[in-house]
Amino acid sequence: MYIMAKDAFAYLFYNHSFVFSFLIRKGWGETQPCFILYTMNNSLYLVYPKSAESGTLETLPATKGMTLIQEDDFLELSGVIASDKVCITSEATLESVLNKMNDDSKIEAVKSMKDKYLFRDLLSRTYPSLDYKTVELKDIPKLKLNSKKIIKPVKGCFGTAVKIIDENSNLENVVEEITSEINKNSTILSENVLSQSKFIVEDFIEGKEYAVDMFFDSTGIPHIVNIYYHPTPKHAEYLHMMYYTNKDIFEEVYDSAIDFFVEINKKLQLTNISLHSEFKLSKDLVPIEINAMRFGGMGLGNMIYHSLNINPYKCFIEENSPKWDELWKKHSNENFVFLIAYNGTNIDPNQQKPNFKKIERKFSEILNKTVFNYQKQLAFGIYTLKESAENIEEILNIDFNDFFEDIKKPIA
């Protein structure tokens, strides 16, 4: 369909807009318009499962044009097409939602990112020095190692069963630890989300770990809606307890991340899709994994709304990048933290409960607090915080066992 430039903006209505623009990156979120006609979908389905990890729905910003819909209801919809914008809140819905959209090229692209072995195959020409292979759980003790490796489920999330191993590791013990974690978390995470027997063993990549939430718009152009640094906590059992962002983190990662997404999309040819990606940065920015059709899980993707008032879903719908230059000038010395308050490793949820007042005395400023049912989830809540660099280091030393207390039984 061809329309005159003077008529283009008459088409800005509920479902689709015909817009003249070609985005040329000049800086963080700056663009320069040219005149290419494309179709932009001004609506979004956010699909959630019957049961999954808490966090995303509870912290969700109200968003014009977004339809929140349960998985079964989405699968019964008629008229869903490949170009529709669809996000998921949990990996548990990924396969069924993809199949509903009936887009073979997108299905293959997403599978090549979700399966960690296929993902390494996809990037093997760009990163030829990385060694990787698959292994069955029962065969892990037979591995012959001569350097540091990381082993993780071919499909996984929440850091479940991810282990660093080397020639000094007791692999029988590693199998026991993996089995214990999988048995615990598989009550919440299905086989579609968490592989229970097939693993990938790959070279351990040195460097700082970062996560990036982004989307490809209807022309395949990448837009970043948050970048987080993932520090390592004192207690490895709480691996994903903290992510945080600030101006320096953006300056360190933004340009390299954009370059990566431009390059990978030359292979994948994706449009209208959100991604949560993880990287290591030493000399170069090296991708660890990509999670398709969603932003950061458990509410991580929403922390930028509760800290800087950036709604990632609104950005996705309207196909706009936040004005990062302007935002970080206003908040140049501030750190914004996303914290998962884990259940302690040694607690009995039937006999103990979290002490919120005690843990919150550790924080400088709470921007958002969401409480979970800790007896059904792997954590008792999530927080968005504004913190000093010094206090971030203190929080990383937390052992969540110290923040549970006995449940007082009523006197008969």
Alpha-carbon gap, residue 282 to 275, rounded angstroms: 22
As a whole number, mean pLDDT of residues 83-103 equals 88
Instruction: Give residue 157's pLDDT.
Output: 67
Crossing angle for the helix pair 247-268 and 104-114, to the nearest 10 degrees:
130
Q: What are phi and psi of 274, to 5 degrees?
A: -95, 150
- Inform me whether the pLDDT recorded for 134 exceeds 70: yes
CA atoms of 357 and 355, how far apart (whole Å) = 6
pLDDT at 127: 85
What's the DSSP call for residue 322?
-
Q: In terms of Cα–Cα distance, which of 163, 147, 155, 154 is closest to 200?
A: 154
Average of pLDDT values for 335-349?
96
What is the distance between the alpha carbons of residues 120 and 282, in angstroms, rounded to a whole number? 19
- Of 165-169, 181-185, 217-221, 240-244, which range is least confident? 181-185
Q: Distance (Å, rounded) from C-alpha 6 to C-alpha 210?
A: 44
CA distances 264 to 85, 363, 365, Å, are 20, 39, 39
Mapped onto helix, strand or coil, the DSSP state of residue 292 is strand
Q: How confident is the model at residue 119 (pLDDT cuts 50, 70, 90)?
A: confident
* Res. 33: pLDDT tops 50: no
Query: Percent of the chain beyond pLDDT 90?
Result: 63
**199 close to 152: Cβ distance less than 8 angstroms:** yes
Cβ(199)–Cβ(154) below 8 Å:
yes
| DSSP β-ladder status, 285-292 and 335-342 | unpaired
Q: What is the DSSP letter of 318?
A: H
In this predicted structure, which of 123-127, 146-150, 221-225, 240-244 has the lowest mean pLDDT? Answer: 123-127
Q: How wide is the angle at C-alpha 196 spanned by C-alphas 185 and 69, nearest 5°? A: 60
pLDDT score for 154 = 80
Token readout for 185 is: 């978390």
Complete domains list, the chain, with CATH: 5-116+206-404 (3.30.470.20), 131-203 (3.30.1490)
pLDDT above 80 (res 250) = yes
The first and second tokens of residue 239, run together, are 């691996």
pLDDT tens figures, 50-79: 876 789 999 999 999 999 999 999 999 987
Look at the block and give the residue holding tokens 């292994």: 135
Q: pLDDT tier at 40 (50, 70, 90 boundaries)?
A: low
Calpha distance 221→265 (Å, rounded): 9
Q: How confident is the model over 365-389, as pLDDT tens digits?
A: 999 999 999 998 889 999 999 999 9
Question: Taking 60 as the threshold, does the pLDDT of residue 34 lie above it?
Answer: no
pLDDT of residue 42: 84
| Rounded mean pLDDT, 218-237 | 96
At 125 the pLDDT is 82
H helical segments located in 69-204? 71-75, 94-101, 104-114, 116-122, 171-185
Let me know: does 42 contact 319? Beta carbons within 8 Å: no
pLDDT at 186: 65
**For the whole model, what pTM was predicted?**
0.83
Do 81 and 45 touch, CB atoms closer than 8 A?
no
* CA dist list (Å): 81 to 62, 102, 133, 206, 266: 24, 7, 36, 41, 23
* Residues 160-205: tens digit of each pLDDT: 888 999 999 999 999 999 898 888 776 666 666 677 788 889 999 8
Q: Rounded to an integer, what distance in angstroms lies between the CA atom of residue 290 and that of residue 277?
A: 4
Average pLDDT across the chain, whole number: 87
Give the CA distances from residue 32 to residues 318, 320, 325, 404, in Å, rounded to whole numbers and listed in that order.
16, 12, 15, 53
pLDDT > 60? residue 37:
no
More confident site: 192 or 230: 230
Q: Would you state the pLDDT for residue 121?
A: 86
- The reported pLDDT for the residue numbered 95 is 84
Reply yes or no on whether the pLDDT at 407 is more than 50: yes
Looking at residue 410, its pLDDT comes to 65
